[in-house]
C-alpha cells in the first residue's frame, strides 16, 4: 500500500486500518476462550466517525464480547449501537446531554423530563454510567432518576466515591446498583462491608486497582473476595476514549488472565452470568420489538 493512498484516506479509514493492524497482531488465541459479557462499553460521539457502528460491533465480537452494557455521551450513541444489534447491546441511559452536562446533571431541574423523553426512544435497561461524587448524590434530580429506575426496575451504574455509593445504596433500595471500577482503590474490607449489607450491590471491575501482583497473579485477598462473592462481580473494559477501543483485544485478554485463575464456575459468573442475571436476555428482544411498534 503506497503512502499516497494512505494520505488520501479519510481520517476514519486510517483509523480503521490501524484497528485492523491491531487486531491482526493481538492475542486472539487467549481471547477465544472465555466469552465475556461486558458491563462497561461506551460509544460516545468522539467515536462515531472514526469507528462506525458496524466496526464497533465487529470489534466487540472479535474480542469475544457477546453482550455489553453500552452507554454514551450523548446517549444517542447507545441507541445507534442498540438498533444495529439488540442482541449484543444492552442500552443504558446516561443522564448527560453533553460532556459539559456531566458536571451539572445531578442539579439539573430538567433532568427528569430529559430522562422520560429518552425512555420513550428505545428500551433502555438501566441508568448509567453516571458520575456523581459525595453529597452530590443526594440531590432532588438524582432522587428523581432513582424513582424512575425503581418504577421500571432498571439497575444503576455509578462512577462515584465511597460516600456517594453509600448515599445511592441507601436511596435505591430494591434496585441493583453497580459500582463502576469498584471504587478504583477503595479497600477490599470496605467493599466487603457493602456486599454484606446490600444484597443488590454489584461491583464492576474495569480499572480496579490492586487485583493482581507483578506476575499477574490475583492477590490472595482478591482471590478470596471474588470466590466468596462470585455472584456480585462484573467484568468491564470501559471504552471511554479511542485508545480504549484500540486496546479492546488486549484489555479483554488481560481480564481473561485473572478470570482463568478462578474456578470455572466462578469465572463464568463474573465473565457472563451475573450480567445476564441483572439484564435477562429474554426481555431485550421483546422490549425492542415493543419499542419499534410504538
Question: Which residues sit at the interface with Zn ion, rule CB under 5 A?
Answer: 159, 180
**C-beta closer to Zn ion: residue 39 or 267:** 39
Q: Pick from 116, 122, 69: which is nearest to 285 by CA?
A: 122
Residue nearest to Zn ion (CB): 159
**C-beta closer to Zn ion: residue 145 or 262:** 145
Reported for 61-64, long-range contacts at CB under 8 A and 24+ positions apart, including other chains, are 61/88, 62/23, 62/28, 62/31, 62/249, 63/31, 63/36, 63/248, 63/249, 63/252, 64/31, 64/32, 64/33, 64/34, 64/35, 64/36, 64/252
**C-beta closer to Zn ion: residue 31 or 129:** 129
Least distance (Å) between residue 239 CB and Zn ion:
11
**C-beta closer to Zn ion: residue 67 or 159:** 159
* 74 upstream amide cis, omega within 30 of 0: yes
* 246 upstream amide cis, omega within 30 of 0: no
Amino acid at each position: 500500500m503506497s503512502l499516497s493512498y494512505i494520505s488520501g484516506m479519510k481520517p476514519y479509514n486510517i483509523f480503521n486500518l490501524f484497528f485492523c493492524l491491531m487486531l491482526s497482531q493481538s492475542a486472539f488465541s487467549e481471547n477465544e476462550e472465555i466469552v465475556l459479557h461486558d458491563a462497561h462499553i461506551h460509544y460516545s460521539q468522539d467515536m462515531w466517525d472514526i469507528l462506525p457502528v458496524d466496526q464497533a460491533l465487529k470489534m466487540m465480537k472479535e474480542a469475544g464480547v457477546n453482550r455489553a452494557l453500552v452507554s454514551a455521551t450523548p446517549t444517542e450513541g447507545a441507541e445507534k449501537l442498540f438498533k444495529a444489534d439488540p442482541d449484543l447491546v444492552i442500552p443504558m441511559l446516561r443522564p448527560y446531554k453533553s460532556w459539559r452536562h456531566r458536571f451539572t446533571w445531578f442539579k439539573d431541574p430538567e433532568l427528569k423530563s430529559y430522562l422520560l423523553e429518552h425512555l420513550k426512544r428505545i428500551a433502555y435497561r438501566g441508568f448509567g454510567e453516571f458520575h456523581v461524587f459525595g453529597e452530590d448524590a443526594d440531590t432532588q434530580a438524582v432522587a428523581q432518576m432513582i424513582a424512575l429506575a425503581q418504577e421500571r426496575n432498571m439497575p444503576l451504574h455509578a462512577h462515584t466515591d465511597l460516600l456517594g455509593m453509600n448515599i445511592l445504596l441507601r436511596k435505591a433500595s430494591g434496585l441493583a446498583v453497580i459500582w463502576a471500577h469498584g471504587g478504583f482503590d477503595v479497600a477490599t474490607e470496605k467493599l466487603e462491608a457493602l456486599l454484606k449489607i446490600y444484597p443488590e450491590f454489584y461491583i464492576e471491575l474495569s480499572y480496579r486497582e490492586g487485583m493482581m501482583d507483578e506476575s499477574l497473579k490475583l492477590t490472595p485477598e482478591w482471590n478470596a473476595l471474588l470466590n466468596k462473592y462470585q455472584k456480585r462481580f462484573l467484568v468491564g473494559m470501559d471504552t471511554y476514549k479511542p485508545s480504549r477501543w484500540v486496546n479492546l483485544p488486549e484489555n479483554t485478554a488481560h481480564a481473561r488472565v485473572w478470570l482463568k485463575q478462578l474456578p470455572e464456575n466462578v469465572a463464568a459468573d463474573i465473565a457472563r452470568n451475573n450480567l445476564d442475571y441483572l439484564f435477562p436476555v429474554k426481555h431485550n428482544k421483546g422490549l425492542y420489538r415493543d419499542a419499534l411498534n410504538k
